[in-house]
Each structure stands twice: as C-alpha cells, then as structure tokens.
C-alpha cells in the first residue's frame, strides 16, 4: 500500500517537473513608458525596475522612452508585476513586448498556454519559425495606449473572458 502511494507521488513529481520545464519563460521585456518628460522620469523607472530581484539588467532608450529589461533565468516575474512597478513611479505602460523561448508553444488564434507568469491567449498570431524566440505584444488594457486599446477592443471582445480574468494576457506575435 505504501509502495503504491510512493510510486504515485514520484510519477506526479516527474510530470510536474516536465510541465514546468516545457513551458516558455519570459527572458526579456521591452516596455515603452508614457508620461515621461525628462531624464529624471526615466531614471525613476530605471531604479524601480532594477530594484526587482528578478531583473538582471535594464537598458534605456531615452529617445523612445523604451526600457529593455533582461530577466534572470527561471524568473517568475509577470507582466502585471512589471506594469505595477512602473505605475508606482507615476507613469504608465504604452507598450509591452515579451520575449520567450518558443519550445512547445504553437501560436494559433484563440489557443493559449500557461506558465508561471500567467496564461497567454493568442490573438490573430503570425506564423513563427520553429525553435526561435517568441515575441509577444500584450494587448490587455493598461499594457497598450488607450487609443490602441480602444481601436482593438472590438477584435478582442470575441475572445471568451477577455478582460475579466486576472493573470490572463491576450497577446499578438510580432
């Protein structure tokens, strides 16, 4: 009896380890911030992002108000965590592009995948080459400009549960 329990637990552990390693993890995030007026604004966001333990490096493009955030391996950072940290400084996200390892992820319209950072639902995805990095633009409200969100809201409304599930991100491949 005890042997059966041990075997079942071992099988569950092996399956769990296989699942976590097969899902894509975020390795890099490109964030365009809005509302910045000077280099001190950029510096505030830079400091806030660098203070996150999951962040390895932050590079800033002051001309475009863009922050390229490289994350540590096996980071559990979510897009919402990054957005919240930017909003703590008094600014907003105008665009967020995630870079993930593409293994075992097939982008098809309205298909989804889960990982430690959330659930990702594909919206009209482009074809992706096999075994390459997957670049995903987050389309949720607060992750794009208000103008862009309003423009794409009709398209996004066809996706079941759009905007109602926390931790679910609607993404387009780029």
At residue 1, does pLDDT exceed 90? no
Q: Which CATH architecture has domain 25-173?
A: 2-Layer Sandwich (3.30)
The pLDDT score that the predictor gives to residue 14 is 37
| Pair type for strands 133-138 and 55-61 | unpaired
**pLDDT at 13 exceeding the cut of 50:** no
Q: How far apart are CA 153 and CA 27, in angstroms?
A: 28
pLDDT above 90: residue 93: yes
Q: What is the pLDDT of residues 32-58, one digit of tens each?
A: 999 998 889 999 999 999 999 999 999
pTM above 0.75, yes or no: yes
The pLDDT, as a whole number, for residue 15 is 41
Least confident piece of the model among 15-24, 56-65, 78-87, 124-133: 15-24
Place of tokens 């703590």: 88
Quick one: pLDDT band at residue 66, thresholds 50, 70, 90?
very high
Domain spans, the chain = 25-173
Q: How confident is the model at residue 4 (pLDDT cuts 50, 70, 90)?
A: low
Write out the two tokens for 163: 């905007």
Per residue in 99-151, pLDDT tens? 988 677 778 888 888 888 899 989 877 766 555 788 999 999 999 999 999 88
What H or E segment, with its residue span, contains residue 16? helix 2-22
Q: Would you say how long the chain is, in residues?
A: 174
Q: Tell me the C-alpha distance between 45 and 40, whole Å.
A: 9
User: Of the candidates 99, 102, 101, 106, which has an alpha carbon nearest to the alpha carbon of residue 125?
Assistant: 106
- Extract the runs of DSSP E, i.e. beta strands, from 4-146: 26-34, 55-61, 66-71, 92-101, 112-115, 118-122, 133-138
Residue 29 has pLDDT above 60, yes or no: yes
Q: Categorise residue 126: left if φ over 0, alpha if ψ from -120 to 50, beta otherwise.
A: beta
How far is 120 from 109, CA to CA, in rounded Å? 11
């Amino acid at each position: 009896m005890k042997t059966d329990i041990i075997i079942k637990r071992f099988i569950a552990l092996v399956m769990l380890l296989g699942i976590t390693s097969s899902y894509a993890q975020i390795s890099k995030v490109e964030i365009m911030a809005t509302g910045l007026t000077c280099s001190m604004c950029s510096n505030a966001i830079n400091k806030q992002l660098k203070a996150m333990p999951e962040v390895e490096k932050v590079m800033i493009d002051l001309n475009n108000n863009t922050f390229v955030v490289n994350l540590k391996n096996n980071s559990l950072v979510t897009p919402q965590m990054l957005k919240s940290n930017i909003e703590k400084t008094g600014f907003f996200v105008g665009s967020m592009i995630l870079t993930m390892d593409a293994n075992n992820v097939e982008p098809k319209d309205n298909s989804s995948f889960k990982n430690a950072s959330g659930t990702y639902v594909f919206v009209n995805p482009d074809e992706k080459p096999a075994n390459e990095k997957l670049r995903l633009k987050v389309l949720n409200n607060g992750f794009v400009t208000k103008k862009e969100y309003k423009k794409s809201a009709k398209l996004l409304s066809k996706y079941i549960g759009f905007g109602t599930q926390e931790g679910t991100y609607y993404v387009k491949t780029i």
